[in-house]
Amino acid sequence: MTEPESSKSRTEGAYDVFLSFRGEDTRKKFTDHLYTALVQAGIHTFRDDNELPRGEEISDHLLKAIQESKISIVVFSKGYASSRWCLNELVEILECKNRKTGQIALPIFYDIDPSDVRKQTDSFSEAFDKHEERYKEKVKEWRKGL
């Protein structure tokens, strides 16, 4: 039996696709369906199934998964910006994309207007106002990422 073509060219642990999403908003809806479709198509996909305890920083395992992925799909939803975890993932995804590694970043807008993300209005504005109180420097980095 031969290996699927998609797994021959990747190193151990590398992913074809990394999914970044706000679990509360999309896990049991859109993201589960997207993940299932990708896996059924033979695409090696990373989806974080473990909820990160509040206050924890992005893990080395997660950073490595982002860095070794060929494509990152960011599922923007109304609550995406309320998660520091999601915003930190986004910053790492964009850093990988900008390093000229060939990584592709694809945005998906789930139940949110793309202009709310781009202009940081509505739920994104509210989330950043809350973050601003505790994470002033990080907020600048997150805003730039969006």
Residues in a beta bridge with 16: none
Catalytic (active site) residue 133: no
In the DSSP assignment, the letter for residue 134 is: T
**Nearest in space to 6 (alpha carbons), one of 69, 66, 64, 62:** 69
Residues in the chain: 146
Segments of the chain assigned E as strands? 17-21, 45-46, 71-76, 104-109
Tell me which of 89, 92, 132, 141 is the catalytic residue.
89
Question: Is the Cβ–Cβ distance between 80 and 86 less than 8 Å?
Answer: yes
What amino acid is encoded at 13 in this protein? G
**Nearest in space to 15 (alpha carbons), one of 60, 47, 50:** 47
Residue numbers annotated as active site:
89
